[in-house]
Amino acid sequence: EGGVKIPNQQSHAVDPRTGRREESYGPYQLYMRGGVGNQFAKTTGWHPSDPKSWKDGVDFALDYAAKNGWGAWYGAKRAGIGNWDGIPRRNVA
């Protein structure tokens, strides 16, 4: 969902609990209220809203999905994407 000119673009979705825009950023909309965005920030030291973070955000999101599936991305389920769709399953220790 990140834009071409603004790759770390914030989501335009409104959080129904707060009435404000969701705190999700970048191409994989890393969520900063208890989601993958928090893990990204803790692991990399980047905040996903930082314009320079988007490439690391993409790598982090794809690595996360490879290990955990798409379940953390609520929009995937709403779009009919299964937890492991498009992710090759490997025996991971």
Residues β-bridged to residue 83: none
Given a contact cutoff of 8 angstroms between Cβ atoms, the answer to whether 10 and 25 are in contact is yes
pLDDT at 31 over 60: yes
What is the value of pTM for the model shown?
A: 0.85
Given a contact cutoff of 8 angstroms between Cβ atoms, the answer to whether 8 and 26 are in contact is yes
Per 3-state DSSP, what percentage of the chain is helix, strand, and coil (rounded to 5)?
30, 10, 60
* pLDDT tens sequence across 35-93: 999 999 999 999 999 999 999 999 999 999 999 999 999 889 999 999 999 998 765 54
Given a contact cutoff of 8 angstroms between Cβ atoms, the answer to whether 29 and 18 are in contact is no
Given a contact cutoff of 8 angstroms between Cβ atoms, the answer to whether 66 and 78 are in contact is no
